[in-house]
Amino acid sequence: MEMWLDRRDFLRAMGAGAASLAMGKLAFAAGEGAAPFGGAQGKKPNVLFIAIDDLNDWVGCLGGHPDVKTPHLDRLAKRGVLFTQAYCAAPACNPSRAALMTGIRPATSGIYTNPQPWRKSEILKNAVTLPQHFMAAGYHALGSGKIYHGRFPDPPSWHEYWPSKTRCRPGDPMPAKRPVNGIPNARHFDWGPLNVPNEKMGDWQVADWVIKHLGKEHDKPFFLACGFFRPHLPWYVPRKYFDLYPVDKITLPNVKADDLDDVPPIGKRMARPKGDHAKVVKHKQWRKAVQGYLASISFVDDCVGRVIDAFDKGPHRDNTVIVLWSDHGWHLGEKLHWRKFALWEEATHNVLMCVAPGVTKPGGRCESPVGLIDIYPTLIELCGLEPRKELEGASLVPLLKDPAAKRDRPALTTHGRRNHSIRSKRWRYIRYSDGTEELYDHQNDELEWNNLAKDAQYADVKRELARWLPTKDAKNSR
């Protein structure tokens, strides 16, 4: 299938391949894939790797919500290339992050859900993660906050981690009385303002630690990870962020009450309209929930702003690649669904931006569909590291150089075994494990309201998109 040809072609293009690669990065850096910066000194660029948990496209520069205020994400995006159509490999923390950090998709690894320990997958147990690959190339790998899913940290991925290699982040303050929203058994599905200063928040402290390391000189090039947890639930952030969004002026998502009528049963089960959505409506919490999510986004935006300001004042500004991503999208009532865990646009669309001195130009916007799976090979190419044959993404460097460059492959998202979504520039095609389908035409239906899958005139469109489905669907790893 086409999807894998890219990879094989790439390997073939590497020519003599293994032998010269084995000689190390110098052999590679001297060839076609030479690091774009470093110049005469041959000094490798640093990487500042910023992750944001559960952030959908409600970011100013992506236009996902008219009320949202994200000045810092917007200014970072303007410095390099913003990918306006970036999609996750899986719409849940653990499988999305496992795929991003290993470069291997859920359908290959068998890691599809949050409770699966990803290092126990037969395919991933010896995988060389992105920071491990940088460590092997002489980098110092360090970080703080949520990079892997919280339950499954990966100590071999780091030289240094804060608070520790097995505990990725400090705790957060909580309101005295919970749940704030009055929904019974809400657990972390809750929202409300905190009367605490920013300094008490875990993400603020993660930023402090990262800022400290951005301000000093390092003996080696660094791979510095900064993983922010908000806007993950619960949406408890300092009151001033709630005050940015008066609840009576909140814009609710545009939702069609009968939107699920043309969705196959597996899709309906993913949406669970009688679950969160029914509770939110019954307890009159929709506006307050949207307010809580927006407030949490503006809080994390301030955290990003602090890191970028410190980066600019520090000594690494001209020799550091910045990549910022969120791990998947989020529904707030669209398709009567809440949270991630689905294959529609809201759950699969996420944030991705990259600044690479000497490669990207300010103000770049790339509208081709890309995947978070592409980050690993992109950073390899940007830093002139050895390629890895098992990686299933494709480098975004051609798009970083020219955001309008041609790219054929659509973005693939997988949710549970044999449920896939293919997103091209124009179409979204979903095929569930029982063969049922959805097809949406984003040119005329950006909210994915009209499922065209049963309309015979689109048979060729479906066939063309289906070529990109994985050829293998690995069994669930235990």
Query: Which of 329, 325, 297, 293 is closest to 428 using CA atoms?
Result: 329
Query: Rule CB under 5 A: is residue 54 a binding residue for Ca ion?
Result: yes
Q: Which of 93, 124, 304, 400 binds Ca ion (CB under 5 A)?
A: 93
Please give the single-letter amino acid code of residue 110.
G
Q: Which of 190, 259, 334, 345 binds Ca ion (CB under 5 A)?
A: 259
Query: Rule CB under 5 A: is residue 57 a binding residue for Ca ion?
Result: no
Please give the single-letter amino acid code of residue 438.
E
Q: Which of 53, 276, 301, 345 binds Ca ion (CB under 5 A)?
A: 53
Please give the single-letter amino acid code of residue 406.
K
Looking at beta carbons only, is 149 or 316 nearer to Ca ion?
A: 149
Q: Which of 190, 327, 374, 438 binds Ca ion (CB under 5 A)?
A: 327
**Could you report how far apart the first and last alpha carbons of the chain are, in Å?**
28
In whole angstroms, how close is the CB of 273 to Ca ion at the nearest point?
12
Which span sits near Ca ion by CB under 5 A: 49-57, 129-137, 439-447, 463-471?
49-57
Q: Residues 319, 230, 348, 94: is their CA dihedral positive or negative? A: positive
Q: In angstroms, rounded to a whole number, what is the distance separating the alpha carbons of residues 338 and 346? A: 10
In whole angstroms, how close is the CB of 262 to Ca ion at the nearest point?
4
How does 333-364 read in b/e, with b if 16+ C-beta sit within 10 Å? bbbbbbbbbbbbbbbbbbbbbbbbbebbeeeb
Query: Which of 440, 253, 420, 414 is closest to 337 using CA atoms?
Result: 253
Looking at beta carbons only, is 100 or 383 nearer to Ca ion?
A: 100
Query: Rule CB under 5 A: is residue 262 a binding residue for Ca ion?
Result: yes
Is residue 349 annotated as part of the catalytic site, yes or no?
A: no
Query: Rule CB under 5 A: is residue 203 a binding residue for Ca ion?
Result: no
Give how many residues touch Ca ion by CB under 5 A: 7
Q: In angstroms, rounded to a whole number, what is the distance separating the alpha carbons of residues 318 and 305? A: 18
Query: Are 331 and 346 within 8 A, CB to CB?
Result: yes
Query: Are 145 and 206 within 8 A, CB to CB?
Result: yes
Query: Rule CB under 5 A: is residue 55 a binding residue for Ca ion?
Result: no
Query: Rule CB under 5 A: is residue 441 a binding residue for Ca ion?
Result: no
Residue nearest to Ca ion (CB): 93
Active site residue: 149, 277, 331, 415, which one?
149
Segment 112-171, which members bind Ca ion (CB under 5 A)? none
In whole angstroms, how close is the CB of 439 to Ca ion at the nearest point?
11
Q: Take residue 279 and report the two structure tokens written for it.
A: 């509770």
In whole angstroms, how close is the CB of 100 to Ca ion at the nearest point?
11
Which span sits near Ca ion by CB under 5 A: 109-117, 313-321, 376-384, 448-456?
448-456
In whole angstroms, how close is the CB of 198 to Ca ion at the nearest point?
22
State phi, psi for 343 to the nearest 5 degrees: -110, 10
Which span sits near Ca ion by CB under 5 A: 13-21, 101-109, 113-121, 257-265?
257-265
Query: Rule CB under 5 A: is residue 372 a binding residue for Ca ion?
Result: no
Q: In angstroms, rounded to a whole number, what is the distance separating the alpha carbons of residues 187 and 174? A: 12
DSSP strand pairing (420-423 vs 411-414): antiparallel
Active site residue: 61, 93, 366, 383, which one?
93
Query: Which of 116, 86, 88 is closest to 101 using CA atoms?
Result: 88
State phi, psi for 341 to the nearest 5 degrees: 55, 40
Is residue 93 annotated as part of the catalytic site, yes or no?
A: yes
Looking at beta carbons only, is 262 or 464 nearer to Ca ion?
A: 262
Residues that bind Ca ion (CB under 5 A): 53-54, 93, 259, 262, 327, 449
Query: What are the catalytic residues?
Result: 93, 149
